[in-house]
Structure 1
Amino acid sequence: MTDNRDGIKLFLQYLQIEKNYSPYTVEYYQGDLLEFSLFMSEQTIAKWDEVEYQDVRLYLTKLFEQKLARKSVARKISSLRSFYKFLVREMLVVYNPFAQVSIPKIEKRLPEFFYEEELVALFEACDEAEPIGQRNRAILELLYATGIRVSESCSIRLKDIDMELSTLLVHGKGRKDRYVPFGSFAHEALERYISYGRREILTKNKKEHDYLLVNFRGGPLTPRGLRTVLNSIIEKSSLNGQIHPHKLRHSFATHLLNNGADMRTVQELLGHANLSSTQIYTHVTNDYLKKTYMAHHPRA
């Protein structure tokens, strides 16, 4: 049996190389595994193969005692279940003690999205006279035009963009590539940023690489950096609250469905493996339709 740290190291390598998970996702898995490893130490459990079902139940009780959200508990259990499944596959343990643990039901919340007038306020908050403002406008237009994930946007290289056909090659989860079209607004913003803003940022910092999105120092923009950029944009706008990349992704899907796009097309554009992942947006659009009906029908 390998050392506990070796087991975690092997699993994280598996997630990065075989599963092609983003650094952000791998970081979450690592945190969950280290936390459980600490619990094992508290229970004087030395090795992964010494963990039994009753230990898992005790750990689950401890998580609920910490008053964690059900979503957080579900994620931790899911991480550990996947980890043990990997250990069984590699014949490092005999069985998976998490296999029979039921993940607590998560309360389904409707995805938040921006209304079109809110998006206009965001776009107008970007000062396109400055290179950073051109980059920020390009980020907003790109995320809203394509609905891509934050990890996918940060991995885009110039060679992935076909300006002539207005399409983007997206490297999705599990090494699944897909082509996503983008419209005239995103085309114009990308062209301006690539030709002027990006070039100026790289030249000023004496950097040279082919990643599309760059930080103010000229290096490739990270998912964490992108979130910071989006929050800085909303602070300059007339909107309140926080913004996150998935809210733009949700807006992309919701607005497509509201305007008559079919579910299968939206599924393909989002890169969802299962249609069930896309179907949550029908609840949003149904809510939107009801509000529109109540507001405008004379006998509502």
Structure 2
Amino acid sequence: MRLYDPAGNRLYLNAEERATFLAGARRQPARDRTLCETLHFTGCRPSELLEITPARVDLSGGAIAIRSLKKRKDASGAARIVFRTLPVPPDYLDTLNTAHGIREAQKSRKKAAQSIWGISRVWAWKIVKRIMIEAGIPDGPQCSPKVLRHGFGINAAVNGVPLNMLQKWMGHAQLSTTAIYADATGKEEQNIAARMWGLGGIADRLAG
């Protein structure tokens, strides 16, 4: 897993691009908006997003359960199903519930087990790509649905989320995979340095 391609191009959205993308998504019809917001706020893979059902949305607990589609095996070598639960913003959940009738769908076993979006992975990819371009994100390696996942990881690391917690949120089997996000660069690294400088300034004033 890499944050840059062989030519040195970013494979993630930086903080400014994430904000631009989110703003653009919020101008879209409900289905497209919630699809993009879910990728933004959970860092899940597009294929994982399309498996989310109303039954996996905890409106009162403020969280979403996502089934990890990466293969996992138990001690005997048999495949096992792994779910991870992510906390999400309450206003996002309100939008999701209003747009898709989550609370009402949860009252029916059949509806609660159906995919919220009910579209193909290719169609979801086209929706995200279109919104990125409309939002003014340059068309390149960083303009793709999969880079939202990397952007989520870097944003979490920059804001001090412990790596073991981020590992859980992203569904990584190994902490070494998650550690790639601690190696933040560019504007993200500058944000980390700014914190250090700010603390240094305080220490200098106290010393003076």
The TM-score, its normalising length taken from structure 2, stands at 0.70
Match of 1:124 in 2: 23
For the structure 1 residues 160 and 291, does the alpha-carbon distance in structure 2 shift closer, same or farther, using more than 3 Å as the test?
A: closer
Aligned: 1:210 with 2:114: yes
Q: Answer whether contact 1:258 1:285 (CA < 8 A) is retained.
A: no
Which one of the candidate residues 92, 95, 103 is aligned to 1:186?
92
CA shift in 2, pair 1:110/1:263, >3 Å: farther
Secondary structure, counterpart of 1:168 in structure 2: strand
Distance 1:291 1:178, change over 3 A: closer
Alignment of 1:276 onto 2:176: yes
Structure-1 residue corresponding to 2:158? 258
Amino acid of the residue matched to residue 133 of structure 1?
P
State the distance in 2 between where 1:265 and 1:281 align.
13
For residues 71-112 of structure 1, give each alpha carbon's deviation from its aligned partner in whole angstroms, at most 9, with x where no partner exists: 9xxxxxxxxxxxxxxxxxxxxxxxxxxxxxxxxxx9697863
After TM superposition, the structure 1 stretch with the greater mean CA deviation from structure 2, 134-143 or 236-245, is 236-245
SS for the counterpart of 1:227 is: helix
**Which residue number in structure 1 is paired with residue 201 of structure 2?**
none
Q: TM-score, normalised by structure 1?
A: 0.50
Q: Which structure's residues are more often strand, by fraction?
A: 2
Match of 1:237 in 2: 135
Residue 123 of structure 2 aligns to a residue whose secondary structure is helix
Distance 2:165 2:7 in 1: 23
Alignment of 1:2-151 (within 5 A): 112-126=11-25, 128=27, 133-151=29-47
Computed over aligned residues only, the root mean square deviation of the Cα atoms, in angstroms, reads 3.3
Give the match for residue 167 of structure 1: 63
User: Which consecutive unaligned segments of at least 5 residues does structure 1 have?
Assistant: 1-70, 72-105, 200-208, 214-219
Match of 2:120 in 1: 222
Alpha-carbon distance between aligned partners in 2 of 1:286 and 1:115, rounded to the nearest angstrom: 9
Q: Matched residue of 1:177: which SS?
A: strand
Bigger helix share: 1
Q: How many residues align?
A: 174
Give the percent of matched residue pairs that are identical in Structure 1 and Structure 2: 20
